[in-house]
């Protein structure tokens, strides 16, 4: 008897795998290659609705609005290189570079060339259960 493969959407998983962190980094590289300006990015676990989300801070949100930022991310995700990432637009949230959490993380975290894992803390008055912060741009 064949075994059925169970595919669990990223947002429905409690644990973030290294493959997800790598896919997020590749998406950020693809966005940069397309000229999409990035200020910061992090995977953050949201207890309500119990899902992981890739937060992307970009001046595009201020300059052209969040809709335009999502459109540009979607273009990259639909490109031949983006389709291989296993990410969906629903896995992302866009925020302003001056978002209070982004500003607090910039102040609190050391400069790093690799993603930094943080858990069970409050940054800028925002509680974080679990997160992986990519190096700041």
Q: How crowded is residue 19: how many other Cβ atoms within 10 Å of its Cβ? A: 11
Question: pLDDT-derived band of residue 12, with 50, 70 and 90 as boundaries?
Answer: low
- Does residue 2 register a pLDDT over 90? no
What pLDDT was estimated at residue 5? 35
Nearest to 44 by CA among 118, 137, 98: 118
- Does residue 7 register a pLDDT over 60? no
Pairing assessment for the beta strands 126-133 and 40-46 based on DSSP bridges = antiparallel
The domain of 16 spans 10-133
List, for residues 24-54, the tens digit of each pLDDT value. Answer: 999 999 999 999 999 999 999 999 889 999 9
Sheet-wide strand order for 40-46: 92-95, 51-57, 40-46, 126-133, 116-123
- Does residue 65 register a pLDDT over 80? yes
Nearest to 134 by CA among 29, 10, 5, 11: 29
Nearest to 61 by CA among 31, 113, 96: 96
Q: Is residue 56 part of a domain?
A: yes
DSSP bridge partners of 40? 57
Q: Is residue 96 part of a domain?
A: yes
What pLDDT was estimated at residue 10? 56
Q: Is residue 5 part of a domain?
A: no
Q: Is residue 15 part of a domain?
A: yes
Number of domains in the chain: 1
- Does residue 72 register a pLDDT over 60? yes
Mean pLDDT (whole number) for 92-121: 94
Question: pLDDT-derived band of residue 56, with 50, 70 and 90 as boundaries?
Answer: very high
What pLDDT was estimated at residue 85? 96
pTM of structure: 0.88
Q: Are 137 and 39 in contact (CB under 8 A)?
A: yes
């Amino acid at each position: 008897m064949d075994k059925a493969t169970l595919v669990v959407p990223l947002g429905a998983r409690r644990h973030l795998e290294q493959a997800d962190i790598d896919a997020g980094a590749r998406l950020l590289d693809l966005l940069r290659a397309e000229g999409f300006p990035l200020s910061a990015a992090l995977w953050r676990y949201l207890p309500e609705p119990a899902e992981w989300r890739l937060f992307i801070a970009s001046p595009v949100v201020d300059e052209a609005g969040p809709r335009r930022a999502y459109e540009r991310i979607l273009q990259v995700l639909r490109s031949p290189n983006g389709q291989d990432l296993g990410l969906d637009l629903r896995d992302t949230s866009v925020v302003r570079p001056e978002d209070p959490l982004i500003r607090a993380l910039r102040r609190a975290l050391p400069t790093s060339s690799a993603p930094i894992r943080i858990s069970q803390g409050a940054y800028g008055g925002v509680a974080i259960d679990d997160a992986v912060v990519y190096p700041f741009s």
